[in-house]
Structure 1
Amino acid sequence: MSATPRPHDLVWLNRASALEDIAEPWVAQQWRAALPVVVRRDVDDQARVPVGVRGMKREQRAAGWVQARNIVRSVTPEMLVDREVLLHSPFVSQPPVQGAIALTLHRWPWSWGVTGSTGYALATEIPVLHAASDLDLLIRAPQPLDREALLEWQTRVAQLPCRADTQVETPYGAFALNEWLRDGRALLKTSRGARLTATPWHREE
C-alpha cells in the first residue's frame, strides 16, 4: 500500500502473523487475515501502524500493530458512503444505513464517511448491525469549517432514524462535533493522548 493509513481506515493484512503485540487470547481463535483491522490513533518508535481487532462480542476489542508493508488492501470511511454502495448493501433496510443514505442526498462542503460497526458491516458484509445500532460519522477537516454548515449537518443528523455521532478529523486529532458546537471547545483525541482545546486546528505548543 502506498497511501499512509489514517485512523478509522479498515485494512487487510497479507497474513495472520502480520498482527503484532496482541495479548488477548480470543484474537487467535476468532481473527483471520480475511478480516480487516481498523487503524487507531497511537504512535511507536518503529513507525508501525496502530490497529484494533474486532471480536464477535461487543466488548472484544484488542490493540495491536502492523508493518505498513503487510497491508494489502484499505477501505476508507469515505469509500463507504458512495450511494450505490449503500443502496446495494445487504443491510440497506437497517436504520444506520438508511441514515447514511439520507446524508448522501445533500452536497456537503467536506469529505465525510462512516466508521464503527456500520462501516465494518458495509465493508465486510458481516452482520454486526441491528436496528438499535449507532451510526458513527467522520468529517475530514484539514482546515477550519464553517460553523453554519456544521450546524446544518448536525440538524440533519439529529433527524436520522438512528442515534448518530460525528467526529471531526483535523491534522492534529479528532473531536466530537456536538461537544464543539455546544461548548466552543472539545476534547481533541491525538496520537499521543487527549487534550481539551478551543483551537483543534492548531498544533499544541
Structure 2
Amino acid sequence: MLPPFLHILTFFLAFQTANSWPDGLCAILEYSRAEYVTVEERYYGPYIKLSQYCFGDGFDFYVTPRFPTPDDVRDGTETSTIFLAVLDPHKNPVLFAEVKHESWARAAASRHRADRHMRTRFFALLYDCPMPRLWGLSFLGTSVRIYVGDKVTHKITPPPPPVSPPYDLYVPPPDLLGEEWKTDVLSEQGFRKMKDVVNDIISHTQHGH
C-alpha cells in the first residue's frame, strides 16, 4: 500500500506536472463565457470541472455547491452568484469560490459588494477549516482575485478597502478595487496562482495539517 502522501500525490499528478491548463478545459470556459445566459448556466459546470482538475479524482477532497444564505437573499445575490466549496472527507472546507458575472468588475460599487461577499464567507467558514489557512477565490467571469484567511489570527488577505460609515450610504470612488480582478484564470499567471493555492493545501494535507 502506498504511504498516504504518495496516495494523495498520484491523484494530483496531472495538474502538478502541467505547465498550463489543458486545451479542453480552456475551450469549455472560453465557450461558456461567450454565451448570453445566466451566470449559473454559463459557469456552474465549467468551474466544477476546473476544480475537479485541480484536486484530482481521488477521495481526499470533493467539490460541492453551497446554497444561498439568508444574507444572500437579503442582498439579492442568491440568483447572481455561484458558490462552490472544496471539502475534505470530514466535510471541512479547505477552499471556496464565488463566481459572478463579469459585469461585476465594471463598477466600483459592484466590486466593493463582491469583496464584502467574500469576507462574509470567511466569517462563516474559517472556523471549520482544518488547516492553518482557508483559501477563497472570487471569480468575476474568468477574472480571479485570490483571498486567504489565517485560522489563528482571523486576518484576511488582502485587507478590506477603507470605507467611511454609514456603510449603507457609502459611495465608493470610481477606481476602488479597480486593479484587483486583473488576472484571467486561463492565463499563464492564473494557472501559476491556482497551482500555488492547491500546492499549499496539499502540503498541509501531507503533513497532517
Shorter-chain TM-score bucket reads: 0.3 to 0.5
- Per the normalisation by structure 2, the TM-score is 0.37
Highest relative contact order (Cα 8 Å, sep 6+), 1 or 2?
Answer: 2
Which structure dedicates a bigger proportion of its chain to helix? 2
Which structure dedicates a bigger proportion of its chain to strand? 1
